[in-house]
Amino acid sequence: MNNTYKSALVLLTIAAIGGSSCTKTPEVGILNTGNYTDTEAPLKDATNDFPIGTAVNYTPLTAEPKFAEITKRDFDIVTFGYEMKHGAVVKDNGTFDFTRPDAMVAALGNVSIFGHTLVWHQNQNATYLKNFSGITVPAAVENLGNPGFENGLTGWSTFNTGNPAGTTTVTSTAATGEVRTGTSAMKINNPIGYPGSQWRVQIASILVPTVPGKQYMFSYWARAASAGGIIRLSTQDENNGNAQYQGNQTIGTTYAQISWTITANSNQTRFLFDAGESANTFYIDDASFKEVIVPPGGPAIVAKLDIAMADFINTLVGRYKNKVKAWDVVNEPFADNPVAIRDNGNTTTTGSDVLVWSNYLGRDFALKAFNLAKAADPTADLYINEYNLETNGAKLDSLIKYVAELKGKGAKIDGIGTQMHIGRTNMSYAGIDNMFRKLAATGLKIRVSELDVKVMQSSSATALTPELAGYQAQMYEYVVKSYIKYIPAAQRAGITIWGINDKNSWLYNSGKEFPLLYDNDYNKKKAYGGVLKALKGQ
């Protein structure tokens, strides 16, 4: 007798002695695993009260005939696990690619589709969203072709060389101590100072296209052979006019960076080193000529994110409105601990697929989403979807209050989805019942949106044993029975199992977990019998 079997016997004994209900713990009352041998009927035929759904993804649906066959045979409705999400269809430039969801819609034929999901903080093309909105400030482009003088003085022009001309020499240098970085720098040897006539020694950058009114910064690193050297910067346009002048800059004997920002007044601008003020030898390296990129303020980011949200919802819902009659509009709006609307402080923001809408748009981000979805398809049922409602009472209560708040502001919210990614351990039947009772009290449609049951938790087994399969079947059975018991018939929007077979599950983990109704070879498991038994009311 293995330890799992012994544990179940102990629990049964305790329940019998104490007179407590066996529904208080999932691991009680499953020793008769033969209860789950009825697996023949398609799930969708076992009840006419509500749809039974599943989740599908592009590769198994289009490449594994058995996967598609079971999907159409056993289920009323399907949800695309990924292919309708922002990250799946929006490209880095903001355009849409519907190749895969279109192919899946075609492959499913007349099977109904539940849309998933319009606004979520994950599985987005966050690179596009952040660039478009200004959350990510693009790096300024270097306008100089030879900023570090690695190619000598290519791209630089000597305008004046002292009085008489040629008194000052301008060359490149590769001498140790004269170069800051790389292998070369510019060297200006000016033996005569011309106080007040800095222009007597001038070296110019190339002309750079500039936009009048925009800011540009020229920076460089410089040192002098002896203390007290002076350089200033000035500008010219393509006609050698519209000059602007920097004040004199004292150049020390160790390399230091000097920067000057201007507002362009011409369509083309060059910067000039004016080095004629003092007699000295100057070494210049690592110059730069870039536009000053000003990050947008909060209101500008909000405006752009509003546009991006509207574009996605209008495009996606509009494209599939004749096929998709219900949508998860807002997915997972709450963080867990402490329970609160998500922001960048309570949600992990690393990853190219993450943008927390509510961090920028506030708690009314969901109101915007529901209003947009209603406008895009007034006939569709619109849902808010969340996880851990069966284990986190504070989250459950907060979600219900938030839904009431949004509806009070005019949001069309037809239903609530509870995901129920659960396990056979650390799961209270009472928590499941309490969740369904409270959700039913909202009067809205209620759906189990993403059900799967992890079974290998804290088990030393390396494969799905008969006992573990029984535990899993019992949990599936209980969820379905509790749903039917506590959700009134008029509010039952359906139960969706989050996948077909174990190896295609997001929880499979290379064979370490077996959460679904079919095994890797598409054989029905006891879990299938558990769902079927509950649907039949047995």
- What six digits make up the tokens of 251? 């150049």
> Along the chain (538 residues), what's the average pLDDT of each consecutive run of 10 residues?
37 32 42 66 93 98 96 97 98 97 96 98 97 93 97 97 97 97 98 97 97 97 97 95 96 98 97 98 98 90 98 98 96 96 95 95 97 98 98 97 98 98 91 98 98 90 90 96 98 98 96 96 96 92
CB 385 within 8 A of CB 419: yes
- Residue of 526, 395, 406 whose CA lies nearest to 469: 526
**Read out DSSP for 323-353?**
TEEEEEEEE--EETTTTEE--TTTS---STT
φ/ψ of residue 89, rounded to 5: -120, -15
pLDDT of residue 40: 85
Q: Give the Cα separation of 351 and 512 in Å (integer).
A: 25
Q: Give the Cα separation of 427 and 444 in Å (integer).
A: 25
The CATH architecture to which 157-291 belongs is Sandwich (2.60)
Residue 148 carries which side chain, given as an amino acid letter? G
pLDDT of residue 250: 98
The angle, 0 to 180 degrees and rounded to 10, between the axes of the packed helices 298-320 and 126-133 is 130
Peptide bond connecting 338 to the previous residue in cis, omega within 30 degrees of 0: yes
Locate the domains of the chain by residue range.
Answer: 3-136+297-535, 157-291
Does 332 qualify as catalytic in the annotation?
yes
Report helix, strand or coil for 1: coil
Residue 488 carries which side chain, given as an amino acid letter? P
Report the predicted TM-score, pTM, of the whole model to 2 decimal places.
0.80
Q: How many CB atoms lie within 10 A of CB 347?
A: 19
Q: Identify the active-site residue in 83, 390, 450, 467.
A: 450
pLDDT of residue 500: 98
Q: Identify the active-site residue in 277, 332, 390, 467.
A: 332
The angle, 0 to 180 degrees and rounded to 10, between the axes of the packed helices 526-535 and 466-486 is 20
pLDDT of residue 167: 97
Does 150 qualify as catalytic in the annotation?
no
Q: Give the Cα separation of 187 and 180 in Å (integer).
A: 12
DSSP lists the bridge partners of residue 454 as 423
CB 432 within 8 A of CB 480: no
CATH of segment(s) 3-136+297-535: 3.20.20.80
pLDDT of residue 538: 78
Write the secondary structure of 447-490 as one string of H (helix), E (strand) and C (coil).
EEEEEEEECCCCCCCCCCCHHHHHHHHHHHHHHHHHHHHHCCHH
How far from chain centre, in Å, is Cα 96? 17
Q: Give the Cα separation of 282 and 304 in Å (integer).
A: 48
